[in-house]
Structure formats: C-alpha cells, structure tokens
Chains A and B, each alone.
Chain A
Amino acid sequence: MIFIKDVVKQYHTRHGEVTVLDHINLTINNGEKVGILGRNGSGKSTMIRLISGAEQPTSGSIERSMSVSWPLAFGGAFQGTLTGLDNLRFICRIYGVEFESRIDYVQEFSELGPYLKEPVKTYSSGMRARLAFAISMAVEFDCFLIDEIIAVGDSRFHEKCQYELFEKRKDRAMIIVSHQPHFIRTHCDKAAVLVGGKLYSFNIVDSAMDFYHKHSVIV
C-alpha cells in the first residue's frame, strides 16, 4: 500500500513560494489502479515524482509498503555515452536484480538486436523509448507509476506494451497520470482530480470524469 498523508509541496520561484500540492491525501491499495486527472501544470508530474521518491515533500509524509517503480518508460536517466546494455546493467545493479537473465528479455522486447551494444546517443527517439520500456519491465514492482500514455514506437509495439503492462501485470497496483480521460476510464478502478493544488478523490471513475470536465471548463 501507499499512504500519502497531508502532503504539501512548495517551490521557490522568482515571484515567491508557490504551493503546487496543498495538503493532499490518497491511499493506494495493493493491485489498485488509480487515475490522476488534471490539466497541464496542475501538479500531476510533481505528484508522481513525490510518490516515486525522486523528490521530498515540503511537509507531510508518503509511506510505501510495496515496491514502487520509477515513472514508467522514463528514459531520462540513460547515459548517452553508455550502451543500452550498460544502462540495463546499471539499473539492475541499483535494484539488486540479477543482470544476465534479463538481457535476452530486453533484447527481444525492445527489438533493438545488435544495437543494444551501441551507445544510447546513437539511438533514434523511438529506439530509446523502446529500450526505456523494456528496461522498465525488466525489474518487477508491486506498483507501477505511469506518467502520461505510453505511446511507444509504432502501433504494433504500442500494443505489445499495453499487453505487457495491463494484461501480464494486471495484478499490480498502478498510478496513472493523464490529461486524457479515455485512458483512465479504460484502466482505472478509481480516480482523483487535481485542481488548484487540491486532490479530489472519487471511488467511481465516471464521477471523477464529471468533476474534471466541470472544472476544466471553469478554470
């Protein structure tokens, strides 16, 4: 489970303190899929970073009693001068996962073939995204963080990702952040909406949708 308790996140800016998240509460149960809706700049990504542990809250606490992934298909941590294989090795070391047994899976899933032994900086953005997704799947977690729709590669590869995540790992918890309601309606059990730094939780996704639509018109 993940308990988000009374979390506040403020940032220093040139025009003073800005409160991005204002006393937020949310509980994510094992195997639960939670959607987080919000407009651009509403603090969705900040929330994902806090849950992933990349950032610390200004006040409040986040407790995790299950393993939580890094934001899915996130390729930003790749070192361009290293090969795809080296990057996989690095991730495996960090998470204490045996490396050798993951190579075949990543090679096959990413469809990178011999390019896996080339520096990542020589990859196209599609290749990078494929590698990032494959590496994300090489380490198992109880809860996956998904920031925006994973539109990786062509439609066939996209389907493969969807299957890998939503079929093969449908027992896991997921936190899905999106401004595209359709995606959340398809995959989530409950949803929450971020408006003006406050988080409004709904046990029925459609209620969250209604609320979201009402507020994206007004705001």
Chain B
Amino acid sequence: MTDQMQPMLHETSLFRSFRIQMRVIGALLMREVLTRYGRHNIGFLWLFIEPMLFTLGVTALWTFSNAHHGSNIPIVAFAVTGYSSVLLWRNMPGRAIGAVEPNLSLMYHRNVKIIDVFAARLLLEAAGATTSFFVLSIVWISIGWMQPPQDILKVLFGWFMLAWFGASLALLLGCLSERSEVVDKIWHPAAYLLFPLSGAAFMVDFLPPAAQKVILILPMVHGVELLREGYFGSFVHAHYDISYMASVCFGLTALALAQERYISKRVTPE
C-alpha cells in the first residue's frame, strides 16, 4: 500500500491535547456535581456544606470536651484548622478508591482517560474541603470567634502541601484499588486510625520527645504543623520539615503516575 507512508494528519500537539484534557475534565466535573448532588434543594452547595457540618460538629465537640490537652490555644481555631486538614487529605483517597469502575464505559469516548476521571473527582473533593475551610474561617473571624491568621501565606502553603499529599495518596490508592480489592478494605480502618495520629487533635509539641520523632514519620503531621504555625504564629511551637513532606509527596506522585500508566494500558471497558 502506498498510503501506508502518509504522515498522520491529526498529529495532536501538546497544546491541543492540553485543551482537550481541560475540556474533558470540565465535563466530568459537571457530570460529577450533577450526579452527586443533583438539582434538588441546595444542589452543589452540599459540596462544601457537608464538610462544613463535619467541621462544625467536631469544633463543638472539642470545645465542650476541651480536647486540646489543656493548652491555651484558642479551641475554635484549633478545631477548624485541624479537622479541615483531615477532611482535605482523607476525603480524596475515599473518592478515588473505586473511581474507575463506575466510569469504565466512558472510556469508549477516546478523549476520556483514567487520569481525567481521577482529576475530576480529586478537584471536586479538594474544592469542597477548601471552600469549607475558607468559609468557616471567614465567618468565625468576622464574628470574632477566631483571630485572623498570623501569616496567611504559611497557611496557604500548609494547605497546599496537605492537598498535594491527599491527591497523590488518592491517585495511588485509586489505581491500586483497580488491581486489588484489598486496598478498599484496608483504607477504611487505616483512615480511621490515622485521624487521631494526623496532628489534627494535638500539636507535636504537646508530645514527649520520643513520641514526637515517631509521629513526625507521618507526612500529613508536617502539613498541619505548618498550617497551624501560619495561623497562630509564635503562639505555638510547630515541628515540621517540609522538605521531608515534599519528598514523600513526590515519591507518592511518581508511584501513583506509574500505577496510572499501568492500569490505563490494561483497562477493559464494560
């Protein structure tokens, strides 16, 4: 055949691919919002109302039980920063695990890739947790229950690190869950047990030095500490090593992307 040699006419440039991917992720986002929240009552507002209710409840519980080990850190701000962080890194894996299966039939549309399905879910989850955190903070600050943060850039940096950790962990677990159901089974107890260890309900400084070393193995603790230092400034003594947390996130991201490649090559729709 002579036309065998003909060059591909529709060679996709990087820019064009990027535009297609943005479009697809956007479409998946809208679809996800509609399927999850529908158009009834408050619709997509549930996206951040739900995490807000969680945070409110936990704030109330912690306030009444005085759950921060007798330190004199303002409890409302302590609870809002702590529980919002948990929601951020914990909900993303929850949504990513098993995300591929119900969307398999979408793979018939060539432009829809596994990574887009994950991206849409993770963006939505991160957006919900972030909106909840910011709205609650602004409301509490404006009525005087919380002080404004000391260093907003540090808060944002801590938040970003937690989001990165959550997203990379989510992508990795989401991909692994396609290969083994064990991931789903293990994640629930793991998430439950990690919550009290994640630095949400304590500051590392409260712990004895030996325990501090151990607890700082957990990457999200560093993010929460940084976020709290941003919030409370010199009022707290934070312990963190962002280069350590970044290395872990980087490693998780690399592993996750490798797994994503592996399952994309083997995905079978229907």
Question: Which A residues are closer than 8 A to B by beta carbons?
Answer: 1, 3, 11, 27, 29, 49, 52-56, 63-68, 70-71, 74, 76-77, 79, 81-82, 86, 89-91, 93-96
Whether the Cβ atoms of A79 and B35 lie closer than 8 Å is: yes
Q: Could you mark each residue 151-190 of chain B with 1 if its beta carbon is under 8 Å from any beta carbon of chain A, else 0?
A: 0000000000000000000000000000000000000000
Residues of A with C-beta under 8 A to B108: 49, 52, 54, 70-71, 74, 76-77
Q: 14 interchain pairs (CB within 8 A)?
A: A1-B3, A1-B6, A53-B110, A54-B107, A55-B269, A56-B265, A63-B8, A65-B10, A74-B108, A77-B105, A77-B106, A77-B109, A82-B35, A96-B23
Q: Is B69 in contact with chain A by the CB < 8 A criterion?
A: no
Total number of B residues with any Cβ neighbor in A under 8 Å: 32
Whether the Cβ atoms of A11 and B268 lie closer than 8 Å is: yes
Question: Which B residues are closer than 8 A to A by beta carbons?
Answer: 1, 3-4, 6, 8-10, 20, 23-24, 26-27, 30-31, 34-35, 38, 105-112, 264-270
Q: Given that A93-B27, A94-B23 are contacting pairs, would A27 and B265 also be in contact in the complex, using a CB cutoff of 8 Å?
A: no
Q: How far is the CB of A139 from chain B (nearest CB, A)?
A: 10
Give the CA-CA distance A86 to B9 in the complex, in Å.
33
Q: How far is the CB of B240 from chain A (nearest CB, A)?
A: 41
A-B contacts counted at CB < 8 A amount to 81
Whether the Cβ atoms of B269 and A54 lie closer than 8 Å is: yes
Residues of B with C-beta under 8 A to A52: 108, 110
Q: Which of A55, A68, A93 is close to B107, meaning CB atoms less than 8 Å apart?
A: A55
Whether the Cβ atoms of A65 and B8 lie closer than 8 Å is: yes
Q: Given that A65-B10, A93-B23, A96-B23 are contacting pairs, would A82 and B110 also be in contact in the complex, using a CB cutoff of 8 Å?
A: no
Whether the Cβ atoms of B30 and A93 lie closer than 8 Å is: yes
Q: How far is the CB of A2 from chain B (nearest CB, A)?
A: 11
Give the CA-CA distance A179 to B38 in the complex, in Å.
41
Q: Which of A68, A71, A81 is close to B35, meaning CB atoms less than 8 Å apart?
A: A81
Q: Which of A74, A76, A94 is close to B112, meaning CB atoms less than 8 Å apart?
A: A94
Residues of A with C-beta under 8 A to B27: 90, 93-94
Q: Which of A56, A64, A76, A95 is close to B10, meaning CB atoms less than 8 Å apart?
A: A64
Residues of B with C-beta under 8 A to A68: 110
Q: How far is the CB of A160 from chain B (nearest CB, A)?
A: 24
Q: Which of B6, B34, B111, B266 is close to A95, meaning CB atoms less than 8 Å apart?
A: B111
Give the CA-CA distance A57 to B3 in the complex, in Å.
22
Q: How far is the CB of B103 from chain A (nearest CB, A)?
A: 9
Q: How far is the CB of B266 from chain A (nearest CB, A)?
A: 8
